[in-house]
Structure 1
Amino acid sequence: MSVGRLPSEADGRETKRARGMATPLIGFLDEDKLGTLQPHDDALVVTLRIDGYDVERVLVDQGSAVEVMYPNLYKGLKLKPEDLTTYDSPLVSFEGKIVTPKSMIRLPIQTDSDVVEVDFIVVDAYSPYTAIVAQPWLHALGAVSLTLHQKVKYPSEGRVKEVIGN
């Protein structure tokens, strides 16, 4: 996992919210597949700025209902137990096993100049990913993800912005 502190822009950022602008049309074209090996069945894995750090190996899972943080990210962000709130609802892992989360924490995720805050469920389980972002993040951003094109697209400032998969 690569976690590096970036210059703080917290004072100059605004949280994503409804704006008076018309939402641009989001679509995917064959040209969007340039730079990807086709055909493929790869998951969409991206680098995101979470709590001011660039975090690699973040899985975008549009079928999941919660954001998940794994131990490496928890340690890399230097979070402390007092930063967390209790969360005791069990989750089902990819293998179908019941996982009892440790806790929850609300953190900002920044993409370009847009910031949304999401609740990450902290679980003590192995994963090849450092975190999973899911429906709450996608919906808050107004984003559409497509694994075939290895991209997340979202409307912002009257245009469509992209997060490109690794």
Structure 2
Amino acid sequence: MISFTKADLDMVQDPHNDTLLVTLKIGDWQVRRILIDHGSSCDIMYVRCYKELDLHPDDLEQSDNPMVGFNGTLTWPLGATNLEVQAGSKKVKMKFAVIDTPFPYNIILGRPWLHVMRVVPSMLHQLLRFPTDQGIEEVRRGPSTSENFHYGGNEVHL
């Protein structure tokens, strides 16, 4: 059973109205500023993140479906890419829509990833919990003040 307790709030400045931002391994990279959004019907990678991961535009799969934002505006993805996402010991391959829109985050992980991972997010507690073969694991809110990528000990600044 996955649950949250008052003790889980010890590492959180409460009260707060913060978004849940985590750092996860995407492919071979540790990517910061990943927004967890249970309201998003797809997983999204912003083009500047795609480029920072040294992924080539020619490798994108064609995507013919527009995305509709919360204000009803249409955004056409540049394409889609499949990448492995690792949280704790659990890895899953996910399809990301790659879009070219200014956004303060690098990636949005929405319901597709949350459901595949069986993640239970708690915005209040600023953490994710999910079942694995080893038991329940968690990912706490990651550093959010920097928009850096880490690879093999190297940092690339956006």
TM-score over 0.5 for the alignment? yes
Counterpart amino acid of 2:74?
I
Instruction: Say whether 1:65 aligns with 2:41.
Output: yes
Per the normalisation by structure 1, the TM-score is: 0.82
Alpha-carbon contact 1:62-1:135 (below 8 Å) kept: yes
The structural deviation recorded for 1:116 is 0.5
SS in 1 for 2:77: coil
Matching residue within 109, 119, 127 for 2:95: 119
Q: 3-state SS of the aligned residue for 2:15? A: coil
Q: Is 1:160 paired with 2:136?
A: yes
Give me the whole-angstrom Cα distance separating, in 2, the residues matched to 1:121 and 1:133: 11
**How has the CA–CA distance of structure 1 residues 75 and 122 changed in structure 2, closer, same or farther, with 3 Å as cutoff?**
same
Report 1:1-166 matches (<5 A). Answer: 25-166=1-142
- Equivalenced residues, count: 142
Q: Distance in 2 between matches of 1:115 and 1:57?
A: 19
Q: Which ranges of 4 or more aligned residues in structure 1 deviate by more than 4 Å? A: none
Deviation at 1:94, TM superposition (A): 4.2
Structure 2: unaligned runs, 5 residues or longer: 143-158
Deviation at 1:85, TM superposition (A): 0.3
Instruction: Look up the equivalent residue of 1:151 and give its one-letter code.
Output: L
AA matched with 1:133: L
Residue 157 of structure 1 deviates from its aligned partner by 2.0
CA deviations on 1:108-141 (whole Å, 9 max, x unpaired) are: 0011221011100000000000000011111111
Query: How much does 1:88 deviate?
Result: 2.0
Q: Distance in 1 between matches of 2:72 and 2:125?
A: 28
Tell me, yes or no, if the aligned pair for 1:88 and 1:102 is still in contact at 8 Å: no
Match of 2:154 in 1: none
Identical-pair percentage: 37
Task: Quote how far apart the aligned CAs of 1:95 are.
Answer: 4.4
Cα displacement (A) at 1:37: 0.9
Deviation at 1:158, TM superposition (A): 4.0
TM-score, normalised to structure 2's length? 0.86
Taking the aligned partners of 1:37 and 1:92, their CA distance within structure 2 comes to 34
